[in-house]
């Protein structure tokens, strides 16, 4: 039996009250450690923050639960033990989802009736909302993880604090890589729930049976392998925000259950008849066209109505020309400092190549391209030959030949001229075709230029019907 | 970076056979470091096709950082990393570089070597005795 189950508070009522139940109501991560610095109890807020349930954490040394920067260099518990006084410090932790979270740690000694040290109480406050205060100015160009000066992005920056003030469901739409996750996080941090947990669930990442247990939890014995009660993400997000990404991939059976939850805000774990009332805000996002999915019968119309209370559409990068320069400079600065490089900027020719590229992967793809270029660049300026081959190959050959370092050529991509029609599959097919033509049909050479192995090129060519 | 001799539960060798899997474990003392990016030491072991594990070397990192460790993983041609907490971007970077990452593993590194011998190492393994 986990030690945590035996911890009770006496004197509050006729019968002892479970300490875990008391700590669960505190909207701050709290854990109780024994004198040997092993975890005795973890509250619900800390479970949500670290991703470890109390059953998993019970009995292990605290540094394996918290995984903080102070755990490796300068554990503060020693000082607390010696001075017998409370200790507070700024730190950061890495949770089970591999996310680094800035926190404020407070460690207090707990003494027994004889004044002997009995245990430690450690509180962990998520300070993300305080570290990146949301700038609600309409002129803002950098907000948390969002960067932009274009009219479209200014509109987004302006509306986020307004959305944050309400508690209604939000549906964020936009192509992949446009920053849906960043916007969801920004809404959470600007809202009154900022101190509560922000739980992200990818509806497309897990099979149906696992997803149901992950979202709503399960009762011990509900199915083979359910050896413990599991609270589920909705219960862990109590007083916070649940962010359902790829909502378009949610199976129909779970759409019904989510619908019922959105109606009465009560969670029924798998195999349990008892419901748990939770207070969470739901933000959903998808790159799919939900209206079309409703017409096709793969998405419930009533769920769409419930999620679509506030809708926020993020523009693709091709519609944000003004942001391109700033995004390039932002990512260049980021990777310069990360890889200890001193690259001044992009040559005019490299800038033209980037401008002519349609960026089907949007800002994420631009970030990856800049990361690649910073890694490859050996001088102080990024030139076209430092960019991934598929981007340069994408530019029509006659324009590539015309490109000079003074960038006199104005590269105009045929794809760019009609951004509404862009599909990655079309772009990739064209890229392969152009490379094959350039290599006069030699697959080995084409694969080398494209950065694929020969079998990948063969597979892609087969997929696009370029070979029998 | 300085190579140091570490007392190992299995015999030390200088070179691993060409077809063996090279495993890096970031350490804090004799335990897996709670954080990949802050590990002051790392041990490199190799597992041959018959699952015999040999510790090749221990490395003291003069400056603990995730970047330095990633560079070391690339230069040492590591196939697998067994660690505790690792940030998503370094995890994705290593996966992209075709390095298998087994994370959220807790406990002494000697137990990791035993698991490598058994071929049963997995994400989230708690290889230490819980005190209940």
The answer, yes or no, to whether residue A96 has pLDDT greater than 80, is yes
CA distance A198 to A181: 11
Number of separate domains in chain B: 1
**The pLDDT of residue A376:** 86
CA distance A399 to A401: 5
User: Using an 8 Å Cβ cutoff, are A24 and A7 in contact?
Assistant: no
Q: How confident is the model at residue A453 (pLDDT cuts 50, 70, 90)?
A: confident
Interacting residues of B2 by C-beta distance below 8 A, sequence separation 6+: B59, B60, B62
Residues of B whose CB is below 8 A from A73: 38
| Residue A420 DSSP one-character state | G
The answer, yes or no, to whether residue A179 has pLDDT greater than 50, is yes
Structure tokens at A456: 């990948």
The answer, yes or no, to whether residue A468 has pLDDT greater than 80, is no
- Give me the torsion for CA of A174, A175, A178, A183, rounded to 10°: 30
CATH for B93? 3.30.420.130
Closest CA to B34 of A40, A91, A301, A336: A91
3-state secondary structure of A310: strand
Give the class (CATH, top level) of A131-315.
Answer: alpha beta
A98/B87 touch (CB, cutoff 8 Å), yes or no: yes
Closest CA to A359 of A422, A302, A430, A277: A422
A94/B28 touch (CB, cutoff 8 Å), yes or no: no
Q: Which residue has the tokens 């909302």?
A: A129
With 0-12 / 13-18 / 19 or more C-beta atoms within 10 angstroms meaning exposed / middle / buried, residue A455 is: exposed
**The pLDDT of residue B114:** 93
Question: Would you give the end-to-end CA distance of chain B in angstroms?
Answer: 39
- Chain A CA closest to residue B66: A338
Question: How many helices (H) and strands (E) would you count in chain B?
Answer: 3, 7
- The answer to whether the Cα torsion of B117, B120, B124, B128 is positive or negative is negative
Average pLDDT for residues A128-138, to the nearest whole number? 53
What are the tens digits of pLDDT across the range A17-38?
778 778 888 888 999 998 888 9
CA distance B59 to A184: 42
What are the tens digits of pLDDT across the range A202-237?
888 788 878 888 888 888 887 877 777 788 888 888
Residues of A with CB under 8 A from a CB of B: 1-3, 34, 36, 38, 56, 58-61, 63-64, 66-69, 71-73, 93-100, 338-339
- Chain A CA closest to residue B41: A72
To 10 degrees, what angle do helices A208-216 and A252-264 make? 10
Residue A216, Cβ neighbours under 10 Å: how many? 23
Interacting residues of B120 by C-beta distance below 8 A, sequence separation 6+: none
Question: Number of Cβ pairs closer than 8 Å across A and B?
Answer: 66
What are the tens digits of pLDDT across the range B35-83?
999 999 999 999 999 889 999 899 998 888 898 899 899 999 999 999 9
Is pLDDT larger for residue A220 or for residue A181?
Answer: A181
Percent of chain A with pLDDT over 70: 88
B85/A67 touch (CB, cutoff 8 Å), yes or no: yes
A94/B126 touch (CB, cutoff 8 Å), yes or no: no
CA distance B100 to A66: 24
B51/chain A closest Cα distance in angstroms:
28
What are the tens digits of pLDDT across the range A310-343?
999 998 988 887 888 888 888 898 888 888 888 8
Structure tokens at B109: 């590194």
- Chain A CA closest to residue B88: A98
The answer, yes or no, to whether residue B101 has pLDDT greater than 90, is yes
Strands A100-111 and B100-102: unpaired
Question: Would you give the end-to-end CA distance of chain A in angstroms?
Answer: 62
Q: Which of B67, B84, B128 sits opposite A67 (nearest CB)?
A: B84
CA distance A71 to B28: 10
Q: How confident is the model at residue A419 (pLDDT cuts 50, 70, 90)?
A: very low
Closest CA to B84 of A268, A421, A110, A98: A98
Residue B45, Cβ neighbours under 10 Å: how many? 27
Supply φ then ψ for residue A152, to 5 degrees: -65, -45
Report residue A264 CA to chain centroid gap.
Answer: 27
Interacting residues of A59 by C-beta distance below 8 A, sequence separation 6+: A2, A3, A38, A39, B130, B131, B132
CA distance A260 to A283: 16
Q: How confident is the model at residue A14 (pLDDT cuts 50, 70, 90)?
A: confident
Q: How confident is the model at residue A193 (pLDDT cuts 50, 70, 90)?
A: confident
A71/B34 touch (CB, cutoff 8 Å), yes or no: yes
Q: What is the DSSP string of A320-336?
A: -HHHHHHHHHHHHHHHH
Beta strand residue intervals within A87-230, DSSP E: 87-94, 100-111, 117-126, 142-143, 146-147, 170-174, 198-202
Closest CA to A444 of A455, A433, A434: A455
- Chain A CA closest to residue B86: A98
**Region of poorest pLDDT, from A7-21, A96-110, A234-248, A417-431:** A417-431
**The pLDDT of residue B6:** 54
User: Using an 8 Å Cβ cutoff, are A220 and A261 in contact?
Assistant: no
Interacting residues of A392 by C-beta distance below 8 A, sequence separation 6+: A353, A384, A385, A400
**The pLDDT of residue A22:** 81
Is pLDDT larger for residue A382 or for residue A128?
Answer: A382
CATH architecture of A3-126: 2-Layer Sandwich (3.30)
Q: How confident is the model at residue A130 (pLDDT cuts 50, 70, 90)?
A: low
Beta strand residue intervals within A181-272, DSSP E: 198-202, 241-245, 266-267
Closest CA to A353 of A316, A402, A320, A315: A402
Indicate whether B111 belongs to any domain.
Answer: yes
Indicate whether B130 belongs to any domain.
Answer: no
CA distance A163 to A184: 10
CA distance A203 to A209: 12
Average pLDDT for residues A47-74, to the nearest whole number? 87
Residues of B whose CB is below 8 A from A100: 87
CB of B67 less than 8 A from some CB of A? yes
A72/B28 touch (CB, cutoff 8 Å), yes or no: yes
User: Using an 8 Å Cβ cutoff, are B54 and B45 in contact?
Assistant: yes
- Average pLDDT, rounded, for chain A: 82
- Give me the torsion for CA of A357, A328, B87, B46, rounded to 10°: 60
Residues of B whose CB is below 8 A from A7: none
**The pLDDT of residue A406:** 38
B130/A59 touch (CB, cutoff 8 Å), yes or no: yes
User: What fold does the segment set A427-468 form as a domain?
Assistant: Arc Repressor Mutant, subunit A (1.10.10)
The H-or-E segment that residue B112 falls in is helix B109-118
A63/B104 touch (CB, cutoff 8 Å), yes or no: no
A458/chain B closest Cα distance in angstroms:
21
Percent of chain B with pLDDT over 90: 63
> Can you name the residues that pair with B59 across neighbouring β-strands?
B3, B42
- Chain B CA closest to residue A70: B38
A98/B130 touch (CB, cutoff 8 Å), yes or no: no
Ordered by start, the domain boundaries in chain A are 3-126, 131-315, 317-412, 427-468
Indicate whether B71 belongs to any domain.
Answer: yes
Is pLDDT larger for residue A265 or for residue B11?
Answer: A265
Closest CA to A50 of B125, B104, B107: B104
The answer, yes or no, to whether residue A411 has pLDDT greater than 60, is no
**The pLDDT of residue A56:** 85
User: What fold does the segment set A317-412 form as a domain?
Assistant: Helicase, Ruva Protein; domain 3 (1.10.8)
User: Using an 8 Å Cβ cutoff, are A200 and A22 in contact?
Assistant: no
Q: Which of B35, B67, B126 sits opposite A69 (nearest CB)?
A: B35
């Amino acid at each position: 039996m986990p030690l945590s189950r035996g911890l009770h508070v006496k004197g509050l009522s006729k019968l002892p009250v479970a300490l875990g139940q008391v700590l669960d109501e505190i909207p701050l991560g709290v854990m109780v450690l024994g004198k040997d610095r092993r975890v005795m109890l973890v509250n619900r807020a800390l479970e949500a923050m670290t991703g470890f349930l109390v059953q998993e954490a019970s009995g292990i040394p605290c540094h394996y639960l918290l995984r903080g920067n102070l755990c490796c260099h300068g554990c503060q518990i020693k000082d607390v033990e010696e001075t017998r006084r409370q200790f507070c410090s700024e730190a950061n932790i890495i949770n089970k989802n591999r996310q680094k979270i800035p926190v404020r740690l407070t460690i207090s000694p707990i003494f027994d009736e004889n004044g002997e040290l009995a245990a430690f109480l450690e509180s962990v406050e998520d300070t993300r909302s305080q570290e990146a205060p949301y700038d609600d100015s309409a002129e803002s160009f950098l907000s948390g993880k969002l960067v932009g000066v274009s009219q479209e992005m200014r509109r987004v920056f302006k509306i986020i604090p307004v959305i944050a003030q309400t508690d209604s469901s939000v549906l964020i739409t936009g192509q992949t890589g446009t920053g849906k996750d960043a916007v969801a996080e920004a809404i959470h941090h600007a809202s009154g729930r900022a101190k509560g947990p922000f739980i992200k669930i990818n509806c497309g990442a897990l099979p149906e049976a696992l997803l149901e247990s992950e979202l709503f939890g399960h009762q011990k014995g509900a199915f083979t392998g359910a050896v413990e009660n599991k609270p589920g993400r909705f219960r862990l997000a109590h007083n916070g925000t649940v962010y359902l990404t790829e909502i378009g991939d949610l199976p129909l059976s779970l759409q019904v259950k989510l619908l019922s939850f959105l109606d009465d805000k009560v969670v029924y774990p798998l195999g349990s008849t008892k419901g748990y009332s939770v207070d969470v805000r739901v933000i959903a996002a998808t790159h799919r066209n939900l209206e079309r999915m409703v017409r096709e019968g793969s998405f419930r119309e009533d769920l769409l109505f419930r999620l679509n209370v506030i809708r926020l559409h993020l523009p693709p990068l091709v519609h944000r020309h003004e942001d391109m320069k700033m995004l390039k400079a932002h990512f260049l600065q980021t990777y310069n400092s990360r890889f200890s490089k001193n690259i001044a900027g992009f040559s005019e020719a490299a800038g033209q190549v980037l401008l002519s590229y349609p960026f089907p992967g949007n800002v994420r793809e631009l970030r990856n391209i800049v990361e690649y270029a910073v890694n490859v660049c050996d001088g102080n300026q990024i030139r076209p030959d430092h960019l991934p081959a598929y981007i340069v190959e994408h530019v029509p050959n006659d324009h590539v030949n015309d490109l000079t370092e003074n960038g006199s050529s104005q590269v105009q991509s045929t794809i760019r001229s009609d951004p509404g029609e862009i599909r990655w599959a079309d772009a990739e097919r064209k890229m392969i075709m152009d490379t094959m033509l350039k290599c006069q049909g030699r697959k080995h050479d084409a694969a080398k230029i494209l950065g694929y192995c020969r079998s990948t090129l063969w597979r892609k060519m087969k997929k696009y019907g370029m070979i029998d | 970076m300085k190579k140091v001799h570490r007392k190992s539960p299995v015999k030390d060798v200088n070179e691993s056979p060409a077809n063996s899997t090279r495993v890096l474990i970031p350490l804090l003392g004799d335990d897996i470091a709670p954080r990949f990016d802050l590990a002051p030491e790392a041990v490199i072991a190799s597992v041959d096709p018959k699952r015999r594990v040999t510790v090749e070397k221990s490395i003291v990192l003069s400056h603990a950082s995730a970047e330095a460790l990633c560079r070391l993983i690339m230069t040492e041609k590591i196939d697998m990393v067994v660690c505790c907490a690792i940030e998503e971007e370094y995890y994705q970077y290593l996966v992209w570089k075709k390095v298998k990452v087994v994370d959220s593993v807790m406990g002494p590194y000697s137990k990791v070597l035993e698991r490598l011998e058994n071929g049963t190492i997995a994400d989230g393994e708690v290889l230490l005795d819980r005190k209940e």
